[in-house]
Structure 1
Amino acid sequence: MIVERLGLVDFRNYAEADVTLHPGANVFVGRNGQGKTNLAEAIAFLATLGSHRVSHDAPLVREGKDAAFVRARLAHGERRITLEVQINRQGSNKTRIGGSPVKPGELPRHAHVVLFAPEDLQIVRGEPSARRVFADQLLVQLSPRLSGVLGDYDRVLRQRNALLKSARARGVRGDALATLDVWDDKLVALGAEIVVARARLADNLAGPVRNAYTAIAGADHSPELEWAHSFDEGFRPLSASKGEQDAAEPPNSEGSAALRQAQGPDGAQGREEVAAAFRQTLAARRAQELERGVTLVGPHRDDLVLRVRGLPVKGYASHGESWSVALALRLASAELLRADSMTGDPVVILDDVFAELDADRRARLAGLVAGYEQVIVTAAVDADVPDALRAGVVRVESGRILDPEGGDGDA
């Protein structure tokens, strides 16, 4: 896949921009805060329906405006297709393909992008939520249908939490709250599908992550990844915010035993077995949930555990090892998307990554991504970009795209 042209209106600091991109490497250079990352963010939004920098869409809309517009012309071999998204400060976004309205979940079917950014270090060192977002965004790219499943799960979770809070305020006992069973059924059905999809994703990532890590680090530290489920016995996230710590207490052992028995040799659980374990643990923790007014069990509490040399990355890995794991996750994602696609490679975006890496890792990373059909690089300093990716340089200044001579114009 190639992004041939990118148009922005009222996106971040861009009142308007029209950028022409080419196959191979495209380099955007500019001081921090000028808008380089905003270009990368706009392209990635079409593929993930979200930002790698913020959890809500409102900050993507230029100050004083109600909506931002992103338009991209993509080339899949000889075929051309135009994707558009209207990002509303309030309310649902609107999307079009070839000028015709479509559901937002249709965009990732056509836009495949892998974005590397300094924020990726938080995937391995930060809260469990960062790892869940990484996994779920990749799942949506690989199977756009899951966008609807994840959205439905979030809605059911919010409604169930509202019921729990209301029951706590009224002092209602669990056995007197029959409506909670209805929400349990919906939560379990959707949650089991998410758990199984994530488990299969971890299995598929395992080999590519090992290969990419060795290529980046120049050493085999046996990286591993597996999901720790909130209905596993003794579950404790490696890192948890205050709200997530509520889920760290060991849940029902019967549900955990059922889950372990359901695991096949490839680590992917059957949906029915996962649902049974999920339901048993929900029942066992109902009193605690009513006491706290929040759902303590489900994929929204799970954590993707990452290890090198048999030890958790968080708290044990060096800075260089942590970066190697983060880069390996993105490289493995690109490999999965490349293998899954019938329309070419995903677009690889390297957003201010080279400034964070030592010279050896810069060269290794550049060599690994140089073979992709299109690579987009942003950098504050031109010299940070390795020779393997050095191509036509376009300068960005204060939300404007400058031509190579420094004047305004199309890139």
Structure 2
Amino acid sequence: MPLTRLTLTDFRSYGEAIIEPGPGFVVLTGDNGAGKTNILEAVSLLAPGRGLRGAALGEMARSSGPGGFGVAARLAGDADLATGTLATAPERRQVRINGAPTSVNALGERVSVLWLTPAMDRLFAGSAGDRRRFLDRLVLALEPNHASHAARYEAAMRARNKLLAEPDNADPAWLAALEAGMAEHGVALAEARARTIATLGEAIAAAPANDFPRAALSLDGWAATDLAARLRANRGRDAAAGRTIEGPHRQDLAVTHVVKAQPAGRASTGEQKALLLGLVLAHAELVAERRGMAPILLLDEVAAHLDPARRAALFDRLDGRGQVWMTGTEPALFKPIGMASRFNVADGQVGPA
């Protein structure tokens, strides 16, 4: 569902800002460093996770503010979402839906948010961890309970690693219980990733290929086996390594440029950007079909990195696909768009463009 109102309080460069966008394109223009990406980051916090920058909560509070921050939004349909921190607990995130306290993961039931930033342009040539986190965001948009499985798996793994580091105090029964929890939630993680890759692959194959090159997807790194038994057998190895060596936290998203039959990481920077855009667009359409609500898309500086033909193709493909927030330094980049909510961002202020 689109946002009809976004309110920022002591967030990043904003003491206070209110934005009331329409349901389609939302265009934010302004100089570099004006605070456009900060607005996208605020919207990204309306979904589970650490937002598009992956920053610590303490970094999001305005440096000259009291120490906490707030992000509130009204969704079409009169649902109110709010998240932020208190000055007395700057690293403890709070969430409210319609005024009632709830968990961060509950946000995924109300809204899905996807984003592309310039830092992601080399995603396919970067680390496996970055690709895994990207994949998990794709899964989360389709299966909101994915965040709960991920949190429980990570908590059990941290507890197991701590016990293995102190063998004299390691209770075998407690270790077995932690490993059973890792197996339960780890298999759920791996299966959800596999489902998403399969359905997304079908969506990409069905999408027009003339605008953005097709990508083929697969999972590498770890196959779902009897994880509890493997963890039990590898306690000594994991203790020596100081970490858990086997499990879904070792998986990687493998992407292939179909036409060139080569790993996406070997493609040019422009081709990687186009592959990523095609993947995200197909996924957004899949989410809208499966969940009955289009995800909110956040595209940071996306137009500046595309040639005019591909830029026009992007705008055409996005038109009528839900709420799309885009940033850029030049309003002319977005001139081909017809109807849009246009805002100018300057010095911590947001006004009509």
2:286 matched residue in structure 1: 336
Do the aligned partners of residues 292 and 138 (structure 1) sit closer, same or farther apart at CA in structure 2, a change above 3 Å counting? same
Q: Aligned equivalents of 2:270 and 2:155: distance in 1?
A: 39
Per the TM alignment, residue 211 of structure 1 is displaced from its structure 2 partner at its CA by 4.4
Contact 2:29 2:329 in 1 (8 A): yes
Contact 2:204 2:215 in 1 (8 A): yes
Contact 1:124 1:325 in 2 (8 A): no
Do the aligned partners of residues 317 and 213 (structure 1) sit closer, same or farther apart at CA in structure 2, a change above 3 Å counting? farther
1:214 aligned partner, one-letter code: A
2:157 aligned partner, one-letter code: L
Contact 1:10 1:68 in 2 (8 A): yes
Please report the TM-score for the alignment, with normalisation by the length of structure 2: 0.90
Contact 2:2 2:322 in 1 (8 A): yes
2:217 matched residue in structure 1: 225
Do the aligned partners of residues 50 and 363 (structure 1) sit closer, same or farther apart at CA in structure 2, a change above 3 Å counting? same
Please report the TM-score for the alignment, with normalisation by the length of structure 1: 0.78
2:262 matched residue in structure 1: 311
2:261 aligned partner, one-letter code: G
Structural mapping, 1:147-296, within 5 Å: 147-167=147-167, 179-212=174-207, 214-217=209-212, 223-230=215-222, 232=223, 274-276=224-226, 278-296=227-245
1:269 matched residue in structure 2: none
Q: Aligned equivalents of 1:61 and 1:395: distance in 2?
A: 22
Which deviates more from structure 2 when the two are superposed, residues 149-158 or residues 352-361? 352-361
1:359 aligned partner, one-letter code: P
Q: Aligned equivalents of 1:118 and 1:29: distance in 2?
A: 16
2:277 is aligned, of 311, 327, 333, to 327
1:47 matched residue in structure 2: 47
Question: Does 2:352 align with 1:403?
Answer: yes
Per the TM alignment, residue 91 of structure 1 is displaced from its structure 2 partner at its CA by 4.1
Per the TM alignment, residue 380 of structure 1 is displaced from its structure 2 partner at its CA by 1.2
Per the TM alignment, residue 286 of structure 1 is displaced from its structure 2 partner at its CA by 3.2
Q: Aligned equivalents of 2:6 and 2:111: distance in 1?
A: 13
1:5 matched residue in structure 2: 5
Q: Aligned equivalents of 1:189 and 1:156: distance in 2?
A: 11
Contact 2:300 2:328 in 1 (8 A): yes
Contact 2:156 2:179 in 1 (8 A): no
Do the aligned partners of residues 349 and 212 (structure 1) sit closer, same or farther apart at CA in structure 2, a change above 3 Å counting? farther
Contact 2:203 2:282 in 1 (8 A): yes
Contact 1:225 1:307 in 2 (8 A): yes
Do the aligned partners of residues 164 and 55 (structure 1) sit closer, same or farther apart at CA in structure 2, a change above 3 Å counting? farther
Do the aligned partners of residues 320 and 91 (structure 1) sit closer, same or farther apart at CA in structure 2, a change above 3 Å counting? closer
1:374 is aligned, of 323, 327, 330, to 323
Q: Aligned equivalents of 1:71 and 1:335: distance in 2?
A: 26
Contact 2:116 2:300 in 1 (8 A): yes
Do the aligned partners of residues 112 and 182 (structure 1) sit closer, same or farther apart at CA in structure 2, a change above 3 Å counting? closer
2:75 matched residue in structure 1: 74
Q: Aligned equivalents of 2:124 and 2:206: distance in 1?
A: 18
1:86 matched residue in structure 2: 84
Per the TM alignment, residue 147 of structure 1 is displaced from its structure 2 partner at its CA by 1.8
1:37 matched residue in structure 2: 37
Q: Aligned equivalents of 1:348 and 1:52: distance in 2?
A: 11
Q: Aligned equivalents of 1:393 and 1:178: distance in 2?
A: 59
Q: Aligned equivalents of 1:95 and 1:325: distance in 2?
A: 35
Q: Give RMSD over aligned pairs.
A: 2.4
Structure 2 residue ranges without an equivalent (≥5): none
Paired residue secondary structure (1:387): coil
1:357 matched residue in structure 2: 306
Per the TM alignment, residue 177 of structure 1 is displaced from its structure 2 partner at its CA by 5.4
Q: Aligned equivalents of 2:199 and 2:124: distance in 1?
A: 18
How many residue pairs get aligned? The number is: 348
1:22-52 deviations in whole A, cap 9, x for unaligned? 1222211111111111111111211243211
1:50-107 deviations in whole A, cap 9, x for unaligned? 21112433222222533211111111xxx22111112356443211122122222221
Q: Aligned equivalents of 2:279 and 2:225: distance in 1?
A: 28
Contact 1:213 1:324 in 2 (8 A): no
Paired residue secondary structure (1:21): coil
Q: Aligned equivalents of 1:362 and 1:10: distance in 2?
A: 34
Q: Aligned equivalents of 2:322 and 2:182: distance in 1?
A: 41
1:133-181 deviations in whole A, cap 9, x for unaligned? 11222322322222221111111111111122233xx7x9x9x956433
1:309-347 deviations in whole A, cap 9, x for unaligned? 332212x212222112211221122112201233x4222
1:194-213 deviations in whole A, cap 9, x for unaligned? 11111111111102234457
Percent identity (aligned): 30
Paired residue secondary structure (2:78): strand
